Amino acid sequence: MVENKFPGKDITLEDIETKFPLAAKKSAQHKSKFLVSGVEFGGDLIPVFAGPNMVESEDLILDVAINVKRSGAHFLRGGAFKPLTFPYRSPKYNETREKGIEWLGKAKEKVGIPIITEVMEEKYIPLVAEVADILQIGTRNMQNFPFLTACARTGKPIMLKRHYGASLRDWLGAAEYILLEGNTRVILCERGVSVPHTHRATSRFLLDLQVVPAAQEVTHLPIIIDPSHATFWRPWVTPMALAGIGAGADGIMIEVHPDPPNSAVDPLQPLDYEEFSSLMNRSNAVARALGRRVL
């Protein structure tokens, strides 16, 4: 056997110096802090993004905006442009998209809550960037490098979701593309990885909380978690959100819908208003026990 020392997907000191120097920490204490629409990331506050999977209608998104803000959410999330595994779109989906962005804009104005929403295609970047306070790059676009660069150039803060099959090393490489454009407000988001066993037919992914301390060991970028997409199962969302805070996550993203079983997409995962309010209170209690805060 010929031995070799190929590092595989593991991170080496050389990687840190030559592959993602901008994403890498310069010292043990190095951590990015930045403001987005008045909300601080990377500090004691653990910001919460909440809202429906899909911006179903103007009324719905307004109602959700009012309710999640009341419970203490810092950002309203909602999907207008959504990646679809199959090309056959429901009429519902075709109706939203541009409209969805418009409705998010109205909710933002009326309720006074900043917006995070996904952008999927280069041609829609200007449209989305006009309303969104944070541009969300989805799991499937994590290594769509020209698109990362185009998003970065808007100067807007960017939340980069980890691909469900990507290593931490690959993820930091993708973040480096954004940082290289001079855009320093990058938020990493863990949303579940593909693993051999996921406990239920419904749950296709496993929320990788070990990546939270692993990322914080090598990068100064804030890292948040999305337990809704990872678990795909409402009863597990709150425990995994609390777990994420225990692990040291710098933010949480939660799906909230006034009537989960009638959600237009993925009805098994959103919390209702009451569950979300309870999650906020419990999250805050855990955060405060650790010297941080949600509320």
Q: Give the nearest distance from C-beta 162 to a copy of itself in angstroms.
A: 10
Q: How far is the CB of 200 from a copy of itself (least distance, A)?
A: 6
Least distance between a copy of itself and beta carbon 95 (Å): 19
The burial class, CB within 10 Å (0-12 / 13-18 / 19+), for 210 is: exposed
Nearer to a copy of itself, 38 or 201 (CB): 201
Nearer to a copy of itself, 108 or 163 (CB): 163
Quick one: 111 or 287, whose CB is closer to a copy of itself?
287
Q: Report the nearest approach of a copy of itself to the CB of residue 74 (Å).
A: 20
| H or E element at residue 34 | strand 34-36
Supply the Cα-derived Rg of the chain in whole angstroms.
18
Residue 78 to residues 52, 277, 289, Cα–Cα distance (Å): 5, 18, 30
Rounded to whole angstroms, how far apart are CA atoms 24 and 94?
41
Nearer to a copy of itself, 114 or 138 (CB): 138
Smallest distance, a copy of itself to C-beta of residue 163, A: 6
Helix or strand (DSSP H, E) at 286: helix 273-289
Region class of 290: left (phi > 0), else alpha (psi between -120 and 50), else beta: alpha
CB of 85 to a copy of itself, least distance (A): 4
Instruction: Answer yes or no: are the C-beta atoms of 189 and 207 closer than 8 Å.
Output: no
Would you say 158 or 206 has its CB closer to a copy of itself? 206
**Residue with smaller CB distance to a copy of itself, 21 or 155:** 21
Sequence-distant (6+) residues with CB within 8 A of 92 are 54, 56, 264
Give Cβ neighbours of residue 93 (< 8 Å, ≥ 6 apart): 54, 82, 84
61 or 125: CB nearest a copy of itself: 125
Q: To the nearest whole angstrom, how small is the minimum distance from the Cβ of residue 45 to a copy of itself?
A: 17
Query: Are β-strands 223-225 and 158-161 bridged in parallel, bridged antiparallel, or unpaired?
Result: unpaired
